[in-house]
Amino acid sequence: MAAIHDAPPHTRAPAPAPPEPQEPASGKLVFGLAFAQFGVMITLLTPVMVTLALRVAQIVPEAGRGAALGQVLSLGAVLAMITNPVVGGLSDRTTSRLGRRRPWLIGGMLVALTGLLVVALGGNVPMLMLGWALAQVGGNAAMTGVTAGIPDFVPEGQRARVSGTVGMMTSLSMIAGSGLANAFSANLALAFVIPGLLGLAGVVTLCVVMKDRPARPGAFAPYSLREFLRSFWVNPRKHPDFAWNFAGRFLVFVGIACVTSYQTYFLMDRLGYQDGEVASKQFVGTLAMVGAVVVGSLLGGQLSDRSGRRKPYVLGASLLIAVGLTLIATAYSFPVFLTAIVIFGLGQGLYLSVDVALAAAVLPNPDEAAKDMGVLNIGNALPQSLVPIVAPVFLAIGAGTGNYGALFLFGGIACVLGAFAVQFIRSVK
């Protein structure tokens, strides 16, 4: 990693904020951001979706597999939430000649690739936990550089289109990751390493095409325990627009997490598909959703940038996700579920295209873009851990433990509340 230097006391007076990027983002830069996003997400999502469960099954008896996988994933989720803002703050203040993003992009992916090798070769659960911890820390360290790339290098009038292109890479990486896992099912080590190599190729490409710059001397206080704790905090009284955006993002991702966490069990328990049928039905649903996400991302970005408005599109996207969740709550056949998941995906794509552009516009300090975007990312990471904790309460409403209607309606209500939270933002139209 690059050296991080603190300015001497007499130079710590606040420096003027860097100007907003004015030069339009080139096609090479947009490709670099999109490829890096795709690479980092395929590195992290392929194990979560498929290969970690298979690896655990290779070394843990059947009775203990669920608990072992839960231990590995839970540790990774916690480290992911911590890494984003902490490494973001360190990246913001990095004074390397390579710039403040490149060292963390490259270094992070090398750590992630090392972690995946440990997972692939480790022979017990503690080794899997160590390897996955390294992979999550490294991958999320690299992700801070990707997410900061939009406020760093993309002008306001282009941000929604670029955000839409970059955002839909997450959905595409899910499809590609499943395909790679299937292609290399006979050699599970390659199923871990190939996505990691794609991630490394993606961040290297971004490093080549972006015009990174080192941190400005004197812009930051020395990194201390106080600065570490500040990595997780942006004062909502001083920066209310940032706080409202965080609240809206958190609530919308509560709704999204209801689907990502419980879609499989919904297909089994509500629609009655057996183990052998679920995978194919879920694959069809995922393809339909990803197609809708791509359409929503491209359409939303174009319309938002042309109009110069963000809030109406976030409002519409959040409400569209809520409609999709409500339809899923009432679905008792696969065609209805498929219709609902397409509406859900269209709303999600529209949301992803505009929310990052809105977030970039309400950052308190452009010098701390990576740290503040890391704080915002807690808003979409935390629901993935919280929803499985609160979901049993809704599933247990009434008789039995399968009230998916209540769960998805809860997610829909959260999205509606998130839609209206964003309307309190004052500095963005």
pLDDT, residue 231, reads 62
For residue range 26-53, what is the model confidence (pLDDT) as tens digits? 999 999 999 999 999 999 988 887 788 7
CA pair distance 175, 184, nearest whole angstrom? 14
Which ranges of the chain have pLDDT less than 70? Answer: 1-20, 22, 66, 218-233, 275-276, 279, 367, 399-401
Crossing angle of helices 188-209 and 102-121, in 10° steps, is: 180
For residue range 357-373, what is the model confidence (pLDDT) as tens digits? 787 778 777 767 777 77
**What is the model's pTM?**
0.75
CA pair distance 128, 63, nearest whole angstrom? 18
pLDDT, residue 399, reads 62
What is the number of other CB atoms lying within 10 angstroms of the CB of residue 213?
Answer: 12
**Residue 3 in tokens:** 């050296």
pLDDT, residue 62, reads 74
CA pair distance 347, 317, nearest whole angstrom? 5
CA pair distance 425, 257, nearest whole angstrom? 24
Sequence-distant contacts of 242-245: CB under 8 A, at least 24 apart: 242/362, 242/363, 242/364, 242/372, 242/376, 244/421, 244/422, 244/424, 244/425, 245/355, 245/358, 245/359, 245/362, 245/376, 245/422, 245/425
Could you give all domains of the chain from N- to C-terminal order, each with its CATH number?
22-230 (1.20.1250.20), 240-422 (1.20.1250.20)
- Name the residue among 62, 51, 185 with its Cα closest to residue 131: 51
pLDDT, residue 11, reads 41
pLDDT, residue 117, reads 96
- Name the residue among 398, 416, 394 with its Cα closest to residue 407: 394
pLDDT, residue 346, reads 93
pLDDT, residue 181, reads 82
| Residue bearing tokens 């947009």 | 30
- Backbone torsions φ then ψ of 267, nearest 5 degrees: -65, -35
